[in-house]
Amino acid sequence: MRALVTGGIGFIGTNLSHRLLSDGNEVILFDNLSRAGVQHNLDWLKATHGKELQFVQGDIRDFDAVLTAIQNVDAVFHLAAQVAVTTSVSNPREDFSINAQGTLNVLEAARRQEPMPVVLYTSTNKVYGGLEHLGVVECSSRYEFENLPEGVSEACPLDFHSPYGCSKGAADQYVRDYHRIYGLPSIVFRMSCIYGPHQFGNEDQGWVAHFCITGIRGGQLTIYGDGKQVRDLLYVDELVELMLRAYKNIDRIAGEVFNVGGGCTNTITIWTEFRDVLRPLVGELPAMNFAEFRPGDQKIYVSDIRKAETLLGWAPSVKIAEGVAARCAIPSARLVVSRLTSSLSLYPNS
């Protein structure tokens, strides 16, 4: 396979690119280096794969750059995005230009190729909005759905909430429609919380990594809401495996949308339960305080992953405690945290 990975040195992009290169595939990493910390990922990939690595510094908002990078590829894993709800609220025009216009550039560039490459787009559970129409019960330590034991399925009505939800949701629908209108072999993953190595989370995005990093280096956490919000977590290696299965089965699943996460067997609250996983890994929990719920925050989100299980024979196996322990225990992760703390103002609000 010859693959283009947009956002190729971000968190998911680094893990995906590593797997693709390790399997002997030709990979073009396309990234604008805008996110703090990703230079460490690029350095690691270069050290690991040497001359096999092809890196293009470019921006998905630059159509000509995308068109040049996409030549003669078999697959596009479109991961590049503006990823924070808070950033989208403060700068909705930039959020739109990256997530919506940038994705349209990728789709148009792919449509011009012969044959057209497979395009896999990483969307978000935020396209479902706050899920106010679903019954939610507040229990002593967590929230629960009243009548969704398997979680939220792909049939849930879309309800774009926040500029981020709108921009990602618009892109999500464009990717689907390019299959229907132009026959582009595309797939959409509406993802829940993904975590693992090479993730530089902060207060606005990547909360598992943010909590782990703050626990390792010290500092203070702000918990938005009451800490009882529930999420399903998926270790990044298992997401990468699902991506590759989707590519290999494109003839059967082109045009499909999948809710992707840890599912109902891998749920945890963001603080009332997660703190018990974090404490033995970092020693002393970081100082913390509570703040108001943020706009569009879901009190509970759990992915119904049965469609991926049925169509692709995939199911997650890494349990939360195991995955978080791996994230915290990697010596290189602690070294990078040390370097970031000394060289970057990466977590000014933590």
User: Among all residues, which ones are annotated catalytic?
Assistant: 164
CA neighbor of 348 nearest in space, from 186, 220, 208, 185: 220
Question: From CA 191, how far away is CA 181, in angstroms rounded?
Answer: 24
Question: From CA 53, how far away is CA 55, in angstroms rounded?
Answer: 6
Residue 195 near residue 263, CB atoms below 8 Å: no
Count of C-beta atoms within a 10 Å radius of residue 329:
10
Cross-strand pairs, 202: 205
Tokens coding 4: 């283009």
Residue 13 near residue 85, CB atoms below 8 Å: no
32: left (phi over 0), alpha (psi -120 to 50) or beta: alpha
Cα 264–Cα 139–Cα 132 angle in degrees, nearest 5: 70
Count of C-beta atoms within a 10 Å radius of residue 264:
17
